[in-house]
Amino acid sequence: MLSIQNDLSASVDQRQSELLDILKDLVRYPTVSPPARNTREVQQYIESFLQRVHFETDSWDVYENDPNVVGIKKGTEGERYNSLIINGHIDVAEVGDQSEWTVPVFDMITKNGFAYGRGVADMKGAMAAALFAFKLLNEHGIELKGDLQFQSVIGEEVGEAGTLSCIERGYSGDFALVMDVSDSEIHGQGGVITGWITVKSREVFHDAMRLHMIHAGGGVYGASAIEKMMKIIAGLQELERHWAITKHYPGFPAGANTINPAVIEGGRHPAFIADECRLWVTVHYYPNETYESVTAEIESHIRRVAEADPWLKDNPPQFRWGGRSMIEEKGEIFPALELNESHPAIKRLQQSHQHVWQTAAKTGMSKTVTDGGWFQEAGIPSAIYGPGTVEEAHSVDEKINIEQLCKFTKTLLHFMVEWCNTKKE
């Protein structure tokens, strides 16, 4: 086994240009999200690549012109050996003003040991590494005893549930490796959910009626929904401060569980008292919490705030949480992922990293969120492990260290061979 893995590692070094060619191919497709709905051609490229290296493939539209692709290389021993999911997203962050870039945005170049272009770090570099690894496995004639599954999903950049769609379609495994940016550290993550809080009046008043509702003796029982939302925001700030001193989780700085009032919309016209106001919030929570429990806490607290205000008591706030797309529904969920360092797959991954890097793999918590939490939600053990840094993700002149990308490819090969050739415990 060790000689096979050494041969694979040597091939990565000798054929580094092939890895970079695959990455260059992927970068050429401008799969920017938003606006999204632009991944069909790159997914066809990936599906054809998988078929050439003898994966069985499946593809389906999550949204029009945005398909997922899943490839499976069946193991020789089936259910008795560990199966593995390799997961990554093919969409990339929006670019903004391209004039700020000093390198081509979608025509990857290399210089000074780095590859440059939109998505090289987040996360087409990892996708190219996986495809190249599959190619090497095929060319070396290496059979795995357990099933190997590759998921190329859409929508991660805008909270679209590409990975969830794979799970809903029935794809599962004994362990899932999410190759999102982690600087080749093994990460878990906190969770994120967005939601809308709406304050709505039962009546609509002309602007001229304001003088009759703002003082004793005015005679009109009414209020501006915008002004009442200010009480809701103050209540959210109180809860956020309470969380900061009562909750904590290893690997996160104090107060990382935030409630961000991100967008506010309200009113209809200057000639009216605002009869509706909507607040879009982003909530970050810890890995040992669920979005259901956190949103329940928020609703309970805000309802108590409303009960203390006579008008809000009669016109209580309404809540809508989550969603499958920031584009389609103005809502998203990224479930949390607790890292189980005692899981045998994590142990194997650490050993693979040690073998390639000659240093122990660092473990910790991601600074951002990925699709990894969807696997935990589905009862599939998982971890985040990928090349590239969060600082480079979404950046102008985005780049990835080529040496790190090659070492990640070697680690991935070592881990796939080890895990998929290990009997289930």
**Could you tell me the end-to-end alpha-carbon distance of the chain, in angstroms, rounded to an integer?**
20
Average pLDDT over residues 351-370: 97
Res. 3 pLDDT band, cuts 50 70 90: confident
Res. 216 pLDDT band, cuts 50 70 90: low
Task: Report the C-alpha gap between 250 and 365 in whole angstroms.
Answer: 8
Average pLDDT over residues 120-139: 98
pLDDT of residue 334: 98
Q: Which residues contact 370 (CB under 8 A, 6 or more apart)?
A: 156, 178, 180, 189, 334, 337, 384
- Catalytic entry in 66, 91, 180, 332: 91
Average pLDDT over residues 144-173: 97
- Concerning whether 66 is annotated as a catalytic residue, the answer is no
pLDDT of residue 218: 75
Above 70 in pLDDT, residue 2?
no
**Which strands sit side by side in the sheet containing 84-89, from one edge to the other?**
56-63, 66-73, 148-153, 84-89, 176-178, 382-384, 186-188, 363-365
Q: Check: CB of residue 70 under 8 Å from CB of residue 121.
A: no
Structure pTM? 0.95
Domain with CATH 3.30.70.360 in the chain: 191-321
Q: Which residues contact 123 (CB under 8 A, 6 or more apart)?
A: 88, 89, 179, 180, 181, 386, 388, 393
Q: Which fold has domain 2-189+337-420?
A: Aminopeptidase (3.40.630)
pLDDT in tens, 222-266: 899 999 999 999 999 999 999 999 999 999 999 999 999 999 999
- Concerning whether 156 is annotated as a catalytic residue, the answer is yes
pLDDT of residue 330: 95
pLDDT of residue 72: 98
What percent of the chain has a predicted confidence (pLDDT) above 70? 99
CATH node for 191-321: 3.30.70.360
Q: How many CB atoms lie within 10 A of CB 307?
A: 11
pLDDT of residue 411: 98
393 token code pair: 């993700």
Residue type at 79? E
Domain with CATH 3.40.630.10 in the chain: 2-189+337-420
Residue found by looking up tokens 């210089």 in the block:
111
Query: Pairing between strand 176-178 and 382-384?
Result: parallel
- Catalytic entry in 47, 66, 147, 156: 156
Residue found by looking up tokens 């070396």 in the block:
140
